Amino acid sequence: MKILLIPYIRLFKVLAMCLLSCGFIAAADTYAGKKKSVKSTFMALLPEYSDSVLKIKDKHKQKKAKQSEFKALVELLHKKYSKKQLSLPEKTHKDIIRVATYNVHCWRGPEKELGDRIGGSFAAIFEVIKNINADVLVLQEVELRSPQTLAVLATLGYRYCVFAGASDTASKYGNMIVSKVPLLTQPIKKNFSYGGHHSRSFIKVEIDLSKYHKKNLVFYGSHFDDLDGKARLLEAQELVDSAHTYDFGKNVVIGADFNEQTGKAIKHLASQGFINSFDLAGIAQPTFTHWSGKALDGLYINRCNWNLWIDGSYVLYSGASDHLPVIMDIDPTK
C-alpha cells in the first residue's frame, strides 16, 4: 500500500509547488506597475557606532555599549532625514486594517536588562504603540508583571488581548496579540513542540473580512529562539504546517521577531510560499530593525492564498525599545 502511495505523494508535492509558483506570479502581477501607489517610510541605514564602542574587545561589554548608544543613533536619523521621510503616515481611509509587530523589550529601554527598573521606558514604549495605531498588533517580550499593562492597552482601544507565556502559556513573560477589531474564533496559544534552550510560544487569531467579500485574515504572532538556529527552523516549520493545515485558503500573516535575517528559518518560510510584506509590495525592505543593525523583525505573508491589497509597509524609527516596529496597511476594499 505504501509503495502504491509514493507516486501520488510525489505528484501532490509537484502540484503544490506549481500552486505556490502561480500564487507568486499572481501576487507579483497584482503590484506590477503600481509600486508608486504603495506607501513606505524611507529605509535608512543605522549610523555607525562610535569608535569608543567599536574598540571594546569584550563581546558582552561591547553589546551593552551598543545597546546604550542605540537610542542616540536612531535620534540621529531624525536629524539627518526629513519628517516626511521617516514619519508613519495616517491611514488612507477608515477601512484600512493596520497590522504590526513590535518587540517591546519587557517595557525597557535598549540599554536595560530584564531585572532593571522600568522607569520612564514603559510610557515611552506605549507612546510608540499609540503612534503606530495598529488595528492588530503582535508584541514580543511582554512582561505582564506591570499591573497597568492591560489597562493602558484598553485606553488605546485594544479590547481584545491574547497573551501566551514563553516558558509555558501561563507565565507572565512572552508574546501578546492585541486587537481593536473583534476576533472571529477562539484564539489559539501554544508552546512550540521543540523547546530549544528555553521554550517559545505562538498565538493565532482570525479576523472576519466577509463584509469586504475577502478571505479572512489569520494572524500568527511569535518570537523565535535567539541562540539556536535549529530551533528557529523547527519553529518556522511548525507555524507553516499549522497555516497550511488549518488556514488553507485564508489570508495568513506571520508577525514575529525571527531573530535572524537570512537564516534557515527565513529560507524555509520562503520555500513554503511565505514572502516578506515589503517584497510582496515591491518596495525596499528595512535595512535594520534591531540594535545589531540587522532586520530581525517582519511580517511574512502566505502569497499563494493572499487576495488583499497592501496599501503601505513601514518601519517606525524609535529607540524606545531595542527593536523597531514593522507595520503594514491592508486595504480590504480593493
Residue 6 inside a domain? The answer is: no
Residue 70 within any structural domain of the chain:
no
On whether residue 54 sits in a domain, the answer given is no
| Closest by Cα among 322, 313, 232 to 39 | 313
How far is Cα 192 from Cα 195, in angstroms, rounded to an integer? 6
Residue 58 lies in a domain: no
Residue 111: Cβ within 10 Å count: 19
Answer whether residue 67 is part of any domain: no
In degrees to the nearest 10, what's the CA dihedral of 308, 311, 316, 317? 130
Domain of 161, CATH number, reads 3.60.10.10
Total Cβ atoms within 10 A of residue 185: 12
The pLDDT of residue 21 is: 42
- Return the percentage of the chain with pLDDT > 70, whole number: 86
Number of domains in the chain: 1
Q: Which residue has the cell 499572481?
A: 26
Determine the 3-state secondary structure of 165 from DSSP. Answer: strand
Query: Which alpha helices (DSSP H) does 136-273 contain, by range?
Result: 149-155, 229-246, 264-271
* pTM for this model (two decimals): 0.89
pLDDT digits (tens, 9 = 90+) for 153-168: 999 999 999 999 876 6
In total, the chain counts a number of residues equal to 334
pLDDT of the residue at 120 = 79
Chain segment 231-246, per-residue pLDDT in tens: 999 999 999 999 999 9
* Residue 194 counted as domain residue: yes
Distance CA 306, CA 171 (A): 34
| Domain of residue 299, residue span | 33-44+79-331
Q: Is 160 inside any structural domain? A: yes
pLDDT tens per residue across all 334 residues of the chain: 444 444 444 444 434 544 444 444 444 445 544 545 789 999 999 999 999 999 999 999 999 999 999 999 999 999 999 999 999 999 999 999 999 999 999 999 998 877 777 777 889 999 999 999 999 999 999 988 656 788 889 999 999 999 998 766 567 889 999 999 999 989 999 999 876 667 799 999 999 999 999 999 999 999 999 999 999 999 999 999 999 999 999 999 999 999 999 999 999 999 999 999 999 999 999 999 999 999 999 999 999 999 999 999 999 999 999 999 999 999 999 9
- Using a 10 angstrom Cβ sphere, with 0-12 exposed, 13-18 middle and 19 or more buried, the burial of residue 169 is middle
The reported pLDDT for the residue numbered 166 is 77
Report the alpha-carbon distance of residue 210 to residue 332 in Å, rounded.
Answer: 10
* Residue 68 domain-assigned (yes or no): no
User: 74 by DSSP, 3-state: which?
Assistant: helix
